Amino acid sequence: MMNEVEGLIQRVTTGDVDQSTVSQSASDHVSSMDQEQLTQHLQTAAGNANQQGEGDVAQQLLGLVGQHGGDPQALKESVISLISSNPQILRHFEPSFAKNILGNV
């Protein structure tokens, strides 16, 4: 499944898929999650980024949790914005999370 996710990310980064489509798909998926679920996904992605030597990405992901942990709507909006502007970040998330977003584009 990871190769499939990488292929989908590649399509987005090369412009084969419109960024507004990614944004809408991210919005649809993230908006349906509860805060605890989303926080878990962010923590997992941060751990994966750290293991891959991308501590700055890990800090960014954990920073969202720290900054918006008390405001579920703000957290969702921040995650949607982050994915929309930087879809490559999805490679750090669990494949099922990324596929739910990228599989719709």
84 is a domain residue: yes
In a domain, 101, yes or no: yes
User: What residue numbers bound the domain in which 92 lies?
Assistant: 71-105
Residue 29 lies in a domain: no
Is residue 19 a part of any domain in this protein? no
Give me the pLDDT at residue 34, please.
92
> Would residue 28 count as lying in a domain?
no
Helices (H), 32-103: 35-51, 55-68, 72-85, 95-102
> pLDDT tens digits for 25-71?
999 999 999 999 999 999 999 999 999 999 999 999 999 999 997 89
Q: Does residue 89 form part of some domain?
A: yes
Give me the number of domains the chain comprises. 1
Alpha-carbon gap, residue 34 to 104, rounded angstroms: 20
Task: Tell me if 12 is assigned to some domain.
Answer: no
Whether 54 is covered by a domain: the verdict is no
Q: Give pTM, 2 decimals.
A: 0.88
Enter the tokens of residue 38: 């989303």
